[in-house]
Amino acid sequence: MRNAPEIIRKAGLKVTPVRLAILRLLSDSVRPLSPRDVHDHLMEKFGRNGLPGVYRNLEALAESGILFRIPGFGRERRYALCPNPDNPHQHHIICISCGRISEIEECRYHDGMMVGGYRLLSHAMQFEGICGSCLSQTNHTRS
């Protein structure tokens, strides 16, 4: 993570130990984390930590484009560091084996365009697969 304090400040948020720890944690994690994961980590690190704060922070950071939300991943939310916060156009693929997530570039949709008679306002895509490294480890040649 390049410059966490500045990133937080730019988002109009105060730079707090909790937020720094959250960004550091997510930056060290190859897979998206749930509020509970984050809370567990903060409890270890600080001895105490409130779940409501975790939810507020994750949501605030996601709102600012620093994190993004992975929807429909079990029943709990998951968040990951946005690989490229400047590019508003992000879709990701998750490895169901190791949890790694990567960005997918190509996308022909952009909000505002017409799609099937609708004016598109937002779009999201979720891909699940087996990443290259997991593919080579076991024989996932066919699903």
The footprint of a second copy (CB under 8 A) covers 71-72, 93, 95-96, 102-105, 109, 111-112, 115-132, 135, 140, 142-143
Q: Is 18 in the site for DNA (CB under 7 A)?
A: yes
What are the tokens at 95? 């490895």
Instruction: Tell me how crowded residue 51 is: count the other CB atoms within 10 A of its CB.
Output: 13
Nearer to DNA, 75 or 119 (CB): 75
What are the tokens at 55? 């939810």
Binding mask 39-68 for DNA (x = CB under 7 A): ---x---x-xxxxxx-xxx-xx--------
Binding mask 75-114 for DNA (x = CB under 7 A): xxx-------------------------------------
CA distance 47 to 19: 15
Q: Calculate the alpha carbon distances from 116 to 80, 102, 105, 109, 113 in Å.
A: 32, 29, 23, 12, 10
CA distance 90 to 84: 8
> Which chain residues interact with DNA by CB under 7 A?
9, 13-19, 34-36, 42, 46, 48-53, 55-57, 59-60, 75-77
